[in-house]
């Protein structure tokens, strides 16, 4: 499971902004919303006849594969760099 999310915003005329976000406290704070999302996903699996256990397993594998992912976005002269560790 990812442990740290690093976001860096580079702007040409100003200093870069870097923010470190620990994943576990954010997940704990947002756990009621996560529970509702899981319930909605279970209902969607039931409606579309998808195996719930397989869907949850696939989702967990995707979350576990996130560490090491880097996303670089550039818009105009501003760049946003996101790294998941």
pLDDT in 10s for each residue of the chain, 85 residues: 899 999 999 988 889 999 999 999 999 999 999 999 999 999 999 999 999 999 999 999 999 999 999 999 999 889 999 999 9
Residue 60 per-residue DSSP state: H
**Could you tell me the residue range of the domain that residue 22 belongs to?**
4-84
Helix axes 52-64, 31-47, angle to 10 degrees: 130
Q: Are strands 70-75 and 17-22 parallel, antiparallel or unpaired?
A: unpaired
Q: Which pTM does this prediction carry?
A: 0.76
CA distances from 56 to 22, 30, 37, 69, 83 (A): 23, 18, 12, 21, 24
Query: Cα separation of 10 and 27, whole Å?
Result: 27
Q: How many domains does the chain have?
A: 1
pLDDT at 14: 86
Give the position of tokens 């870069």. Answer: 16
């Amino acid at each position: 499971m990812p442990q740290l999310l690093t976001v860096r915003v580079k702007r040409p005329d100003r200093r870069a902004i870097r923010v470190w976000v620990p994943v576990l406290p954010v997940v704990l704070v947002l756990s009621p919303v996560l529970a509702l999302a899981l319930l909605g996903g279970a209902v969607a699996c039931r409606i579309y006849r998808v195996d719930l256990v397989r869907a949850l397993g696939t989702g967990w594998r995707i979350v576990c594969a996130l560490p090491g992912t880097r996303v670089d976005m550039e818009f105009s002269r501003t760049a946003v760099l996101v790294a998941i560790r």
